[in-house]
Amino acid sequence: MALIDLANPTRFLRLVNAVLPWLAAATVILFAAGLYRALGAPDDYQQGATVKIMFLHVPAAWLGMMGWGLMSVAALGTLVWRHPLADVAGKAAAPIGAAFTFICLVTGSLWGRPTWGTYWVWDARLTSMLVLLLLYLGVLALYWTAEDPGRGARAAAILSLVGAVNLPIIKFSVDWWNTLHQPASIMRMGGSAIDPSILTPLLIMTAAFTCLFFTLHLAAMRNEILRRRVRTMQLMEAQRFAEASA
């Protein structure tokens, strides 16, 4: 099957129905393995057991950013190729990305209190992450409040592309500004700065969270396609009633 064939919603639904159970099973297995390794990981020599919050915070941060990246690519599909599946992908990713960004901010805050002595500080990394959550809420508002779904989709796509500017700001904020947040410690020149006993569970948890994201995203895309079918059929039924009563 050529990749372009998947752009047909009916074929895409068939693929989702086939893939979803396997993806969900992989998510459960990876979470079981990740949590087992994460809860058994040694304490950090400085942070103690609070380092266990990292196994949630880092994957959530990654998915918050990846979700917006996915929405930006989908926005190109909506604006340039006007493909309905691109809009479906963007709309389905928004609440999931927002939820992971929320998890990132709250777990970061709960991690910050015992390690930094404060729940929140207006530094570049934390503030740019909060801006990402606000951007997500803006996109959701555009999708949920627009009377014309097509106009709402185009407005959300434009905001998705504009908001993509925030992604490199989040990533490099710890390098560009003097922040309380630690600098990059996983993806950096010279390799990871984290000991393998902590890095391995972190990578497994990141894989588990990523599988969860795509499981939820595909399921939400399927729901959105069905919702649009319902809307089309309701409009046709209303039209039929109008013609019959005319």
Partner 1 sequence: MSLGPHADFIIASYALTAFVIAAMAAWVVLDYVAQRRVLGELEERGVSRRARNEGQS
Residue ranges in 164-195 assigned as alpha helix (H): 166-176
d(CA 60, CA 101): 6
Nearer to partner 1, 126 or 212 (CB): 212
What residues are paired with 44 via a beta bridge? 48
Q: Are 111 and 62 in contact (CB under 8 A)?
A: no
For the CB of residue 25, give the shortest distance to partner 1 in the complex, in Å.
Answer: 14
Nearer to partner 1, 153 or 208 (CB): 208
For the CB of residue 184, give the shortest distance to partner 1 in the complex, in Å.
Answer: 22
Determine the straight-line distance between the first and last CA of the chain, rounded to whole angstroms.
47
For the CB of residue 116, give the shortest distance to partner 1 in the complex, in Å.
Answer: 12
Closest CA to 222 of 26, 10, 67: 10
Binding site for partner 1 (CB under 8 A): 39-40, 43, 48-50, 52-53, 56-57, 60, 95-96, 99, 102-103, 106-107, 110-111, 113-114, 212, 216, 219-220, 222-223, 226-227, 229-230, 232-234, 236-237, 240
- Backbone φ and ψ of 180, nearest 5°: -75, -30
161 is written with which tokens? 């592309």
> For residue 82, how far is the Cα from the chain centroid?
22
- Which class for 165: exposed (0-12), middle (13-18), buried (19 or more C-beta within 10 A)? exposed
Nearer to partner 1, 88 or 154 (CB): 88
For the CB of residue 202, give the shortest distance to partner 1 in the complex, in Å.
Answer: 14
Nearer to partner 1, 5 or 237 (CB): 237
Nearer to partner 1, 71 or 99 (CB): 99
Nearer to partner 1, 48 or 183 (CB): 48
For the CB of residue 213, give the shortest distance to partner 1 in the complex, in Å.
Answer: 10
For the CB of residue 237, give the shortest distance to partner 1 in the complex, in Å.
Answer: 5
Each residue of 141-151: b (16+ CB within 10 Å) or e? ebbeeeeeeee
115 is written with which tokens? 């390690």
